[in-house]
Amino acid sequence: MSTPDYRKDPDKVAKLTPEQYDVTQKAATEPAFRNEYWDNHDTGLYVDIVSGEPLFTSINKFDSRTGWPSFTVPIDRSNIVLNEDRSYGIVRTEVRSKHGDSHLGHLFNDGPAADGGWRYCINSAALRFVPLDQLEAAGYGQFRILFTTEAAS
């Protein structure tokens, strides 16, 4: 099986909504509690809207009460790039996708202690959700194993 070529796709960038473009390409932040996935409880995979690279699973999503999707860990740390962000007069850690170079959100150290203490606070506008029952059809069948009982425990 060949590895997919996750990369910044100019065609996908051209089709982004204005909010998706501002978030992924200009490092904007969408409004809290008024975004697509903050309260999504469905099982599945979250991928970069620009490159399609798999980033997070619903298994590692939690309610941070911040109004944005929050995750304890990425699927593969090598698909995430962390940068120092000094905007707004504070120091934060920006989260970007490696292959799509999309601004995703920020990393904070106030996540659930039992799960490592990290909170990947991610903009819904940077993500596409692939439901568990659509993984194969969408080309992400190899990630189904992450949702088995053994993998989740």
pLDDT digit string (tens) for 35-68?
999 999 999 999 999 999 999 999 999 999 999 9
Residue type, 40: N
Give the residue from 22, 20, 3 showing the smallest Cα distance to 12. 20
CA–CA separation, 63 and 151 (whole Å): 21
pLDDT tens digits, one per residue of 9-42: 889 899 999 999 999 999 999 999 999 999 999 9
Q: The pTM is what?
A: 0.92
Give the residue from 83, 99, 5, 122 showing the smallest Cα distance to 50. 99
Task: Provide the CATH number for the domain around residue 68.
Answer: 2.170.150.20
CA–CA separation, 47 and 133 (whole Å): 15
Q: Is residue 148 part of a domain?
A: no
Active site residues: 121
Q: How many domains does the chain have?
A: 1
Q: Is residue 153 part of a domain?
A: no
DSSP assigned state of 15: T
pLDDT tens digits, one per residue of 55-111: 999 999 999 999 999 999 999 999 999 999 998 888 899 999 999 999 999 999 999
